[in-house]
Amino acid sequence: MPDRSVCESVVRQLWPYLDGKVDEAERERIVAHLVNCERCASHMDFARAFIEAVGQFGPRATVSDALRNRVITALAREGFNYAG
């Protein structure tokens, strides 16, 4: 089983990875880890299924900057790192 700290790092980077916001070296590290770690791969499966489900709701809604900032702040409090 992979090191827990590596798993935590990979899971924290899944959303930026899916958004194409990680550099090539980080992308390769994430992909290699997901190949070998079923637990983290299940997080990736969830993230992809979530994105697909949200995408089925039609065009994106316009979101105010205030709402966007509140969501990013709430995620940051929970340990997520938004790099965009």
Q: Looking at the domain assignment, is residue 82 inside a domain?
A: no
- Range of 42's domain? 4-77
Indicate whether 40 belongs to any domain: yes
Name the domain count of the chain.
Answer: 1
Mean pLDDT per 10-residue interval, the chain, length 84 residues: 84 92 95 94 93 79 84 85 66
Nearest CA-CA partner of 72 in 55, 59, 84, 60: 84
Hey, which bits of 1-84 come out as E strands? none
Q: Helix, strand, coil: what percent of the chain each, to 5?
A: 70, 0, 30
Q: Is 59 among the domain residues?
A: yes
Residue 55 has phi, psi (to 5 degrees) of: -65, -20
Does some domain include residue 47? yes
Q: Which residue has the tokens 């709402």?
A: 67
Q: Which pLDDT belongs to residue 1?
A: 56
For residue 83, is it within any domain? Answer: no
